[in-house]
A and B are shown apart, each in its own frame.
Chain A
Amino acid sequence: MGAALLLTLPELILSLTSLALLMVAAYAGDRSVRMVSILSVAALVAAAFAALLPPTGYGIAFGGLYRADAFSAFAKLLIYVAAGVSIVIAPAFFHRAPGQGGTLRAEYPILILLSTIGTGMMVSAGDMLTLYVGLELQSLASYVLASFMRRDLRSAESGLKYFVLGALASGILLYGISLVYGFTGTTQYDGIAVAFREGLSTGQLFGLVFVFAGLAFKIAAVPFHMWTPDVYEGAPTPVTAFFATAQKVGAVALLLRVAVEAMGSASDAWMQIVIFSALASTILGGVAAIGQSNIKRLLAYSSINNVGFALFGLVPGDANGVSSVLTYLAVYIVMTLGSFLCILRMRDAEGRPVEEISALSGLSRLRPGLAAALAIFMFSLAGIPPLFGFWPKFLVFDALVAIGMWPLAMVGIATSVIGAYYYLKIVKTMYFDEPATPFGASPDRVEGGLIAVGALIVSPLGYLLIGPLGAYSLAAARALFPG
C-alpha cells in the first residue's frame, strides 16, 4: 500500500496542496490570492518532478487501477506546465476584466489544481473507473472555471453549455463503459484487452463505439465538437487557455491509452472511427474558422483542426504513431499557450479585453514585437516550415506513410491547406492592413517573457529539440506497448 501511494505522489502533492489552500482561501479571502497562486505553481512544479522522477520507479498501483509509467509522466509534464501558465497569467486578466472588482478570487488557482488532478488521473488510469472518476473531477472543476466571471453573461452561458453537454458526454461514456463491462466482465484495461482479443461481439462493439464517442466529446473532435467555440469564446481567456491545452492534452492522452492498452486488439474496429473523426475535424476546423471574427472562436476551431491532425497519428495504432501524437501535443501546447498569451495582450486603452480580429489591424506597426510573435504562432499552427509547428505534422503523416496509408496522408495533408488560409488571415490583418486603434500598454513582464520563450521554441531554433523530444516521446509511447 505504501508503495502504491508513493506511485501516486504527483496526485498526492496536488490534492493535499489544493485542500490546504482551500482552507487558506476560505479564511483569508481574496487577499490571499497571490500567495495561493504562488503555492499552487510550486505544487505543480513539485508534482512535475514527482511524475518525472518517481521515488520508487514506474509501476502499477492499487491492483491495476492506477499506472505510473513514462507515458503518464510525459503527459503530466505537459499538463502541469499548461496549468502553471494558466495560473500565472490569470491575475492580470481578472484585474482588468469588467465587473470583477479588480481582483482574482482565491479559488481560481485551486480550481485549476483540482481540474489538473483529474486530468492527471485520466492519463494514469488503468481502469475504466479510475478514468471516469478522473474525468468527472476534471470536468466539475472546469464547469465552475468556465463560468468564473459570474457577472458576465457569456461566461455564465459558457459554463452552463459546458455543463449540459459535458454531462451528456459523460453519460455516453458511462454507458459505453457499462456495455464494455457487461460484455467483458471487467473494467480493467488489461482484462478488456484480453476479452477483445477473441473477436468482438456486437455488445462489445457497441461499448467501444460509445466509449469513443464520449472521448471524442472530451477532445472536441468532429462530430462532437459543437460545444467548443461557445465555451472557448465565453470562458475567461486564461481558462480558455487551460481548456485548450492542459485538458486537451489529458483527453487526447487518455484516448491514446484506452485505444491502445484496452482496445488495441480491436484496432480494426476503432480505426474507421478515428479516421473519420480526424478527417472531419481537420476539414470542419479549417472551413468553419474562415468566417470567424472573434479570435477566441477562431482558436477554438483551430484546436478542433489540430486535434484532427493529432488523431491521424493514432490511426496506425503503433508506438511510432503514438509518439508522433505526443510530440504533436507538446508542440501544440506551446503554440496555443503562446497564441492565448498574445490575445491577453489585446486590450483597449482602459484595459478591457478586445477579442475582435479586426482590432489586430496594422499591429505590426504599432507593436512590432507582439505582431511578430503572433505571426510566428499562426504560421506555426498552420504547419509552415521552418517553424516548429511543421514538425509534429511531419511526424504524424510519417507514421501514416510508414504503415502504407499514404492516400490518407495525402488527403489529410491537403486539408492543412484549408487551415492555412485562416491563419494567414490573421497575419494579413496584422501586417497588410492599416493600423486600427492602438492597444493599451501592457507592463506585465511575466507575460512578455512567456511569449518570448514560446516564440523561441516554435522558431526554427526549436528543431534543435527534435532529438530529445523524439527520444522522450518514443520512450513514453513504448510504455503503452508492453513486450
Chain B
Amino acid sequence: MSFPILSVMLLVPALAAVGCLFLSPGGARWLALAATLVDLLLGVLLWVGFDNAGAQWQYQEYSPVFGRFAWALGIDGIALMLIMLSVFLMPICIAASWDAIEKRVPEYMAAFLLMETLMIGVFAAQDMFLFYIMFEAGLIPMYLIIGIWGGAERIYASYKFFLYTLLGSVVMLVAMLWMVREAGTSSIPELMAYDFPPQAQTWLFLAFFASFAVKMPMWPVHTWLPDAHVQAPTAGSVILAGVLLKMGGYGFIRFSLPMFPEASAQLFWLVMGLSMVAVVYASLVALVQSDMKKLIAYSSVAHMAFVTIGLFAFNRQGLEGSVMMMLSHGLISGALFLCVGVIYDRLHTREIARYGGLADIMPKYALFFLLFTMGSVGLPGTAGFIGEFLSLIGAYRANSWVAFVCTTGIILGAAYMLYLYARVVYGKVKSDEVAAMPDLSARELALVVPLALAVLWMGIYPESFLAPMRRDIGLLVARVERAYPQGDAHLMARVGAPAAAAPAAHGTEH
C-alpha cells in the first residue's frame, strides 16, 4: 500500500486542532499556521503526483472500519482542484486572523483546523455516508466561528446558518439511504455508474437539491448567506465564500448530474429559472447595499448562479466553466473579503459611506483591491473571466435565453463592483480617521499577493487548472449525454437540415 496522503492531509489539521486547545494563544497561532502550511505542501505534492492521463480515481484508500460504510478516499481532477483551493486558502485565513482575533485564540484556531479537515474530507470522500458525515459536520465549527467571534447579530446569524443548512441536509440523507438500498453499495464511483429508475430520480434529485441549493446558495434559499457573511469574522467569511459554498457545486457535479441525468434534464428549467432570477435579482440587491460585506455576499449569490447554469448546460464548456467559476470565485471572493477585513480592522466599520479616497492614503491596497474587483467583474486576464465566459458559452448552447438573461449579470456585476470600488477608493478622504489609516502591512501583503498571483495565473493560463479535470468532465459529459436536452442554439452543420435531427452538431469537441 502506498503512502496514504489523503488520510494524512485529514489527520494533520485534526491533530493540530486538538493540540491547539492545550496551547497559549501565541503557540496556537503558530501551530495552526504550521499545520495548514504542511497541508498546503501535501496538497502541492498531491497535484504534482496527480496523473492527468491516469486512472479516473487516484490516491485511493479503502478501509472498511465502520461496518456499514467505509473509510474510502480518492480524488479525481475536480476534487483535486477543490482540495487545492481549500489548502491554499487555509494558511491565508489563519494569517488573516493573526491580530484580528484577540479572544479565545486556541479555540478559534482549533475550529478552523477542524473545518479544514472536514472540507478536505468532503472533497476526498468516496463513500456516500462518509461524504455526508463530513458535509454535515462542517456545521459545528462554522456555527461556533460565527457565534463566538462574529459581529453584533452573530447569534441570530449562527442559528439561521445552522438550522437552514441542517434542514436541507437531512432530507438528502433519506435519499442517500434509499439509493444505497437500491444500488447495494455506498461507494460513490459505483453509484455514479448506477442507473436509477427515472421516476425515482426526480425525487432523489429534489432531495439532493434541497441540500445543495441551500449550501450553494441558490435563490430563494440564499437568505442565510448575507447574514452569515456579515456576522462572521473575516477569515470565517473567506472560508465560507471560498470553500463552503463550493460544496454545493461539488455536490451537484458529483451526485446530481451523474447519478440522476434524466431528472437533471427534466428539471432543467427549475435550475435555470432559479439561476436566472438569482443572477439578476442578487445583482440588483448588491447594487443598493451600504454594507461592504453584504454587497460581496450578494455578489456571491449571483456568481454561484453562473456555476449552476454552467452545470446544467450539460456540455463540456458549461461544466468546465462552472468548475473554473467555483475556483475563481473561491479565490476572488475570498480576496475581496480579506480586503474588506483589512480596512475593517482599521476603522471598525463596514459602511461604504464612511470610506473614500483610499487611493491616496493606501495606494498598495487600492491596487490589489482593484485587481480583485476586476476579477469579480470578469475582466479578461483574471480568473473571473474564464469561468463566466465558459459557463455562458455552455449556457448559450443549451438555451440562448438563459445565456441572454445571465449575461446581463456581467453588466450588473460590473456596475455594483465598480460602484463599490469608486465609493471606497476614489473621491475625497472623508474624515481624519480615514486619513490616518496605514497602508498594507507586510503581513497583509503576504496574504493578498499569493491570491493576486493565483487570480492572474488562472486568468492568463487556465490550462494548468483545466488539464487535471479534462478527462473527468469528459466522462461526465458522456454520462449525461443520454438525457441531453435539445438546445436551441447550435451551429448548423448542414444548412437546411432540421435542428432537432442534427445530433452531430453538439459533439464534445472543445
How far, in whole Å, are A384 and B118 apart by their CA atoms in the complex?
14
Q: Mark A401-436, 1 if CB is under 8 A from B, else 0.
A: 110001001100110110011001001100110000
A355 within 8 A of B: no
Question: Which residues of B sit under 8 angstroms from A406, Cβ to Cβ?
Answer: 174, 177-178
A23 within 8 A of B: no
A467 contacts B65, C-beta separation under 8 Å? yes
Q: Mark A376-411, 1 if CB is under 8 A from B, else 0.
A: 000100001110001000110110011000100110
A413 contacts B132, C-beta separation under 8 Å? no
B494 within 8 A of A: no
A384 contacts B174, C-beta separation under 8 Å? no
In angstroms, how far is the closest chain A Cβ from the Cβ of B14?
9
Q: Mark A454-483, 1 if CB is under 8 A from B, else 0.
A: 000000000110110011000000000000
B167 within 8 A of A: yes
Interface residues in B166-193 by Cβ distance below 8 A to A read: 166-167, 170-171, 173-174, 177-178, 181
Partner of B162, one of A364, A401, A410, A424: A424
A386-B133, A410-B174 given; A466·B67 CB < 8 A: yes
In angstroms, how far is the closest chain A Cβ from the Cβ of B386?
35
- Please, which residue of chain B has its CB at the minimum distance from the CB of A409? B174
How far, in whole Å, are A401 and B179 apart by their CA atoms in the complex?
10
B342 within 8 A of A: no
A420 contacts B174, C-beta separation under 8 Å? no
A398-B177, A428-B155, A467-B66 given; A413·B104 CB < 8 A: no
* B residues at A contact (CB < 8 Å): 21, 65-68, 104, 107, 129, 132-134, 136-137, 139-140, 143-144, 147-148, 154-155, 158-159, 162-163, 166-167, 170-171, 173-174, 177-178, 181, 207
A384-B136, A410-B171, A466-B66 given; A431·B177 CB < 8 A: no
Question: Which residues of B sit under 8 angstroms from A428, Cβ to Cβ?
Answer: 147, 155, 158-159
Question: Which residues of A sit under 8 angstroms from B139, Cβ to Cβ?
Answer: 384
How far, in whole Å, are A431 and B104 apart by their CA atoms in the complex?
11
Partner of B167, one of A390, A414, A466: A414
Partner of B144, one of A390, A421, A431, A470: A431
A352 within 8 A of B: no
B162 contacts A470, C-beta separation under 8 Å? no
Apart from the given pairs A385-B132, A386-B137, A410-B171, 15 other A-B contacts in the complex at a CB distance below 8 Å: A364-B104, A368-B21, A384-B140, A385-B136, A385-B137, A394-B129, A394-B177, A397-B174, A410-B207, A413-B171, A414-B170, A424-B162, A428-B147, A432-B148, A467-B67
How far, in whole Å, are A385 and B139 apart by their CA atoms in the complex?
9
A379 contacts B174, C-beta separation under 8 Å? no
Question: Which residues of B sit under 8 angstroms from A379, Cβ to Cβ?
Answer: 140
Q: Which 10 A-B pairs have the closest CB atoms?
A: A385-B133, A467-B67, A401-B177, A386-B137, A466-B67, A413-B170, A432-B147, A417-B167, A385-B136, A409-B174
How far, in whole Å, are A162 and B170 apart by their CA atoms in the complex?
36
How far, in whole Å, are A464 and B63 apart by their CA atoms in the complex?
12
A432 contacts B178, C-beta separation under 8 Å? no
A365 contacts B167, C-beta separation under 8 Å? no
How far, in whole Å, are A409 and B170 apart by their CA atoms in the complex?
10
Chain A interface, number of residues (Cβ within 8 angstroms):
34
A365, A395, A413, A414 — which one has the most chain B CB atoms within 10 A of its CB? A413
B166 contacts A384, C-beta separation under 8 Å? yes
Interface CB pairs A-B, < 8 A, 24: A384-B136, A385-B136, A386-B137, A390-B136, A397-B174, A397-B177, A401-B177, A402-B181, A406-B178, A410-B174, A410-B207, A413-B173, A417-B170, A424-B162, A424-B163, A427-B144, A428-B158, A431-B144, A431-B147, A432-B155, A466-B66, A467-B65, A467-B66, A470-B68
Question: Which residues of B sit under 8 angstroms from A385, Cβ to Cβ?
Answer: 132-133, 136-137
Q: How many A-B residue pairs have CB under 8 A?
A: 90
How far, in whole Å, are A385 and B135 apart by their CA atoms in the complex?
9
A384 contacts B167, C-beta separation under 8 Å? no
In angstroms, how far is the closest chain B Cβ from the Cβ of A13?
33
Question: Helix, strand, loop or mixed for chain B's interface?
Answer: helix
How far, in whole Å, are A46 and B144 apart by their CA atoms in the complex?
44
In angstroms, how far is the closest chain B Cβ from the Cβ of A311?
17
Question: Helix, strand, loop or mixed for chain A's interface?
Answer: helix
How far, in whole Å, are A385 and B162 apart by their CA atoms in the complex?
13
How far, in whole Å, are A402 and B177 apart by their CA atoms in the complex?
8
Question: Which residues of B sit under 8 angstroms from A416, Cβ to Cβ?
Answer: 170
A420 contacts B163, C-beta separation under 8 Å? yes
Question: Which residues of B sit under 8 angstroms from A395, Cβ to Cβ?
Answer: 68
Partner of B173, one of A365, A394, A420, A467: A394
B177 contacts A409, C-beta separation under 8 Å? yes
In angstroms, how far is the closest chain B Cβ from the Cβ of A464?
6
B139, B171, B177 — which one has the most chain A CB atoms within 10 A of its CB? B177
How far, in whole Å, are A431 and B159 apart by their CA atoms in the complex?
13
Question: Which residues of B sit under 8 angstroms from A364, Cβ to Cβ?
Answer: 104, 107
Q: Mark A333-374, 1 if CB is under 8 A from B, else 0.
A: 000000000000000000000000000000011001000000
How far, in whole Å, are A12 and B478 apart by their CA atoms in the complex?
69
In angstroms, how far is the closest chain B Cβ from the Cβ of A43?
34
- Please, which residue of chain A has its CB at the minimum distance from the CB of B133? A385
Question: Which residues of B sit under 8 angstroms from A398, Cβ to Cβ?
Answer: 177, 181
Question: Which residues of B sit under 8 angstroms from A463, Cβ to Cβ?
Answer: 65-66
- Please, which residue of chain A has its CB at the minimum distance from the CB of B162? A424
B65, B140, B158, B171 — which one has the most chain A CB atoms within 10 A of its CB? B140
Question: Which residues of B sit under 8 angstroms from A397, Cβ to Cβ?
Answer: 173-174, 177
Question: Which residues of B sit under 8 angstroms from A464, Cβ to Cβ?
Answer: 65-66
A432 contacts B154, C-beta separation under 8 Å? yes
How far, in whole Å, are A421 and B148 apart by their CA atoms in the complex?
17
In angstroms, how far is the closest chain B Cβ from the Cβ of A421?
6
